[in-house]
């Protein structure tokens, strides 16, 4: 679906995302000054909740609400737009920007603003994982533990992820997990299990080569054995998985229980330890801006 000629755009700016030296209000205002669109800028205060943002959006009544930040900011804004006619736009400003990359939106600010003004919209599915909205990727086990440890690594992006991976790889034991997929019980031992709408993490590590954001399924990727070689495949070469080490399931609902509490993250946000995961797909839940028509 193409954009309208005269848009109302509401920008939700997270001043704490990524390089917070960037003056987003000035950059956005300068870009739209010669254009016929109407914009409003809202800088997120500390401890802002969804209801406050919803109220500001309702007052402005925009065509498009743009998250200026990383995956956490996108998740927050998306919660305000689920199953509405308003479209989610993304101006990448985080350290990883996983969903933006998934949708073909790069880190070049002018190009990303061009997509907001001239791009196309499409509907995608989302999942809820233990009641949390998940647009991108959620997991338990090794990667969630890495999310916790990643904060202490000064090097960001792909190489920071690799450094964190090698630091914790030998410390992490396998999880014993029971899953129910399409009413079928499955028992498995794994280093990590990913609930994947998307194909790759913000670091560029490809975890789900068959993933699609606009179908009616999500993937459950059980990484049964992980090694430096497998991590290198995910992050650098994107070579096919070893089927003996990684198993992929497709479903629209998942119930998963671990014998012990395990590390858990949703869309890049570490959420502590859990013993149970419930995931459900919501089809056509969110309309997003993309660079190319589908």
Q: What value does the mean pLDDT take over residues 42-60?
A: 91
Residue 222 Cα distances to 16, 66, 80, 143, 243, angstroms:
33, 34, 31, 12, 10
pTM for the structure as a whole: 0.85
Do strands 175-181 and 184-190 pair parallel, antiparallel, or not at all (unpaired)?
A: antiparallel
Report whether 227 contacts 235 (CB < 8 A).
no
The pLDDT value recorded for residue 232 is 63
Residue 51 Cα distances to 29, 45, 126, 151, angstroms:
26, 13, 20, 29
Residues 60-96: tens digit of each pLDDT: 999 999 999 988 899 999 999 997 889 999 999 887 7
- R_g over Cα of the chain: 19
The pLDDT value recorded for residue 235 is 60
The pLDDT value recorded for residue 225 is 79
Q: What value does the mean pLDDT take over residues 140-168?
A: 64
Angle at the Cα of 218 from the Cα atoms of 215 and 220, rounded to 5 degrees: 155
Q: What value does the mean pLDDT take over residues 99-113?
A: 92
pLDDT bucket at 216, cuts 50 / 70 / 90: very high
């Amino acid at each position: 679906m193409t954009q309208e000629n005269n848009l109302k755009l509401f920008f939700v700016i997270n001043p704490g995302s990524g390089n917070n030296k960037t003056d987003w209000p000035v950059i956005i205002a300068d870009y739209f000054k010669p254009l016929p669109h109407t914009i409003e800028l809202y800088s997120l205060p500390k401890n802002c909740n969804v209801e406050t943002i919803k109220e500001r959006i309702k007052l402005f009544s925009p065509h498009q609400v743009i998250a200026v930040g990383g995956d956490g900011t996108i998740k927050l804004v998306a919660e305000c737009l689920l199953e509405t006619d308003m479209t989610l736009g993304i101006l990448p400003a985080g350290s990883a920007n996983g969903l933006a990359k998934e949708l073909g939106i790069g880190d070049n600010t002018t190009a990303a603003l061009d997509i907001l003004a001239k791009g196309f919209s499409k509907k995608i599915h989302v999942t809820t994982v233990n009641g949390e909205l998940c647009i991108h990727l959620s997991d338990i086990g090794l990667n969630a533990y890495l999310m916790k440890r990643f904060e202490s690594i000064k090097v960001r992006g792909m190489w920071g992820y690799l450094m964190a991976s090698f630091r914790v790889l030998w410390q992490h034991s396998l999880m014993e997990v029971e899953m129910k997929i399409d009413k079928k019980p499955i028992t498995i031992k794994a280093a990590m299990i990913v609930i994947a709408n998307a194909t790759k993490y913000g670091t560029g590590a490809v975890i789900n080569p068959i993933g699609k954001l606009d179908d009616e399924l999500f993937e459950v990727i059980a990484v049964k054995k992980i090694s430096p070689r497998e991590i290198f495949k995910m992050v650098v070469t994107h070579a096919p998985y070893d089927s003996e080490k990684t198993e992929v399931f497709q479903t629209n609902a998942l119930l998963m229980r671990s014998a012990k509490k395990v590390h858990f993250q949703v869309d890049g946000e570490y959420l502590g330890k859990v013993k149970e995961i419930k995931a459900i797909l919501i089809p056509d839940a969110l309309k997003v801006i993309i660079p190319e028509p589908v």
